[in-house]
Amino acid sequence: MELEAWSNLEFLMLDQNLLTGTIPSYIAQMPALYFVTLGKLLLTGTVPEKVWDNPNFFMVDISRNPGLVGTLPTEIGLATVLNYLSIIENDSWSGTIPSEIGLLTGLEDLWLSKCNLSGTFPSEIAGLSNLIGLGIDGNPLTGAIPSGLANSQQLARLRMNDTLLTGELPESVCGVPVLFFDCPRLCGCDCPCAEVDTVLPSANASN
């Protein structure tokens, strides 16, 4: 039976397998599906457009697929129930971080590390009050660190090292339990300068 015929499928978890090929466009049209983890596979091609604006998807992890190419489109702002998004270590990607991510008010985890994303860090993301984990490290992002980032009261994991960001890290961010940033270049407070490890979050691992 084809996967497309499983109209009641809610979870699609295929992480860490030797699966090849492209992401089928029909997964964005499966009416019950809301949990999609396709990390650490051998996927190629691009991400179907409808994946990004799907109003039912709660979790999307397509990280660590080196053959996957794409960008984050502005339509992602339509994925209104999205709680977790990870595209880390997809270094064949390009483009910018769309400010429309700031419309995802239920977002708790946003992991965009090492995806070759450029441009500025949208200030709208700093306004996500439910954000717990954020990773933008390893991208050639420019501009200043949004001052509003200090208002994210629930933020517990923040990775923003190895970027081209400027300015000073807001002092109130020092209380984030897991914090990685470019020190001393962005030191604006007395945070300990942690050494960057090589383990980044995935859907199946504790962050």
CATH assignment of the domain containing 9: 3.80.10.10
In a domain, 190, yes or no: no
Contacts of 24 (CB under 8 A, 6+ apart): 3, 4, 48
Kindly give, in sequence order, each residue whose CB lies less than 8 Å from that of residue 134, ignoring residues fewer than 6 positions away: 109, 110, 111, 125, 152, 155, 157, 158, 159, 160
pLDDT in tens, 7-30: 899 999 999 999 999 999 999 989
pLDDT in tens, 35-55: 999 999 999 999 999 999 999
160, part of any domain: yes
Flag whether 197 is in a domain. no
The answer to whether residues 61 and 15 touch, using CB atoms and an 8 Å cutoff, is yes
- For residue 50, the surrounding DSSP H or E stretch is helix 49-52
For residue 63, give its domain range: 3-180
C-alpha–C-alpha distance, residues 35 and 204, integer Å:
13
For the stretch 59-72, pLDDT in tens is 999 999 999 999 99
Tens-place pLDDT, residues 129-163: 999 999 999 999 999 888 788 677 789 999 999 99
Residue 198 included in any domain? no
Q: Quick check: is 174 in a domain?
A: yes
Inside any domain, residue 113: yes
What is the tally of structural domains in the chain? Answer: 1
Residue 64: inside a domain: yes
Q: Is the pLDDT score of 121 beyond 70?
A: yes
The residue ranking higher by pLDDT, 51 or 6, is: 51
pLDDT at 14: 93
In a domain, 186, yes or no: no
pLDDT of residue 204: 45
